[in-house]
Amino acid sequence: MRILAVASQKGGVGKTTVALNLACSLARRGAETLLVDADPQGSIGLSLVGRISSSRGLAECLRGEARAEETVLKTRIACLKILPAGNLSEADHEMWASALADGSAFGRLFRGLLNDYSILVVDTASGLCASTLGVLKNANAVLLVVQAEPLSTRSLPQFLDMLRALRRNNHPVGLVGVLVNMVQAKLSDSTAIAQEILNMLPPQLALATTIPRDPMFLRASAKGVPLGLLYRKPHPIALLFDQVAAELEPRMGLSKTEEENEAEPLLD
Ligand SMILES: Nc1ncnc2c1ncn2[C@@H]1O[C@H](COP(=O)(O)OP(=O)(O)OP(=O)(O)O)[C@@H](O)[C@H]1O
Ligand SMILES: [Mg+2]
């Protein structure tokens, strides 16, 4: 499973934040990772300082004006590269939505990239819009991000139904995890709903790691960096994304099972 779409039914739940920080963790743990910004708003670009904002990217690739390898950006993390959203005019937004829904354009692009990377982490646009469906039709795996709030328990079954419908139509996309974001540890309503969400899921879909609501995300976003690069000594919440990566890797076939890893000797 090498194309991981980070998706949600509701907007603003933390998809871009999760895609960015998880991609950093996967790369630091050794996977050749390409973070793809498939949100026409260019959310990954907006989250980062540097030359990404005006860079060519997905839009130019999909319009046939550039090859993906020409637009991919290197980052300070050796194994992490980024394919920005590229430049879209208002007219392009319409093209993006209608032309991408059937998934074939994304399919061609993703297949061309797979030789060079262990995993593509794809940040998707808000809600289940046409471009997101186009991504999901080509992804092997989906990480669903939900906010720790009552609406999430109601929308979760709908999301699972949508994935089932895609599979019935020969798009073999599987959910690999549900990540509960913005948990407020001091609010019993918030922790209770996080637990309720996890209880709704079979163990292979629940993620033991949840992400707290924390002002550090605002600080990282104000500085335009992933949380892990905010301080020389990584913030403890940045390390939570390493745990999410470790939980997801075996589910995506990127590593052996947790049990096998535990048994590995220190010396050869
Ligand atoms: N755990 C968290 N704690 C505090 N703030 C958070 C957390 N996760 C995300 N945020 C903040 O919430 C806002 C929305 O996050 P983000 O942009 O990642 O959501 P999104 O799901 O990608 O939104 P959209 O649907 O518009 O693409 C951002 O300002 C982000 O910094
Ligand atoms: Mg986003």
Tens of pLDDT, residue by residue over 1-54, are 599 999 999 999 999 999 999 999 999 999 999 999 999 888 898 888 877 777
DSSP letters, 40-81, are TT-HHHHHS-SGGGG---HHHHHTTSS-HHHHPEE-SSTTEE
Highest mean pLDDT among 123-132, 139-148, 231-240: 139-148
* pLDDT 10s digits, 218-264: 999 999 999 988 898 889 999 999 999 999 999 999 986 666 666 77
Give the pair of three-digit tokens for residue 139: 């992804």
Pocket test for ligand 1, best of 17, 47, 207 (most atoms within 8 A of CB): 17
By alpha-carbon position, which residue is closest to atom 9 of ligand 1? Answer: 14
Whether domain 3-251 has CATH 3.40.640.10: the reply is no
> How many CB atoms sit inside 10 A of residue 223's CB?
13
Given a cut of 70, whether residue 94 has pLDDT beyond it is yes
Give the Cα separation of 3 and 237 in Å (integer): 25
Decide: 252 and 2 in contact? Cβ < 8 Å: yes
Residue-averaged pLDDT of the chain: 91
> In ligand 1, which atom is closest to the CA atom of 39?
27
Helices 236-251 and 15-28: crossing angle, nearest 10°?
80
By alpha-carbon position, which residue is closest to atom 28 of ligand 1? Answer: 14
Give the pair of three-digit tokens for residue 153: 């328990």
- What percentage of the chain has pLDDT greater than the value 90? 67
Pocket test for ligand 1, best of 6, 9, 16 (most atoms within 8 A of CB): 16
pLDDT attached to residue 258: 62
pTM of the model: 0.94
Q: Using the structure block, give the residue that is written with the tokens 């890797």.
A: 249
pLDDT attached to residue 132: 92
pLDDT attached to residue 102: 84
Q: Which of 148, 178, 154, 175 is nearest to 164 (CA)?
A: 175
Give the Cα separation of 44 and 33 in Å (integer): 15
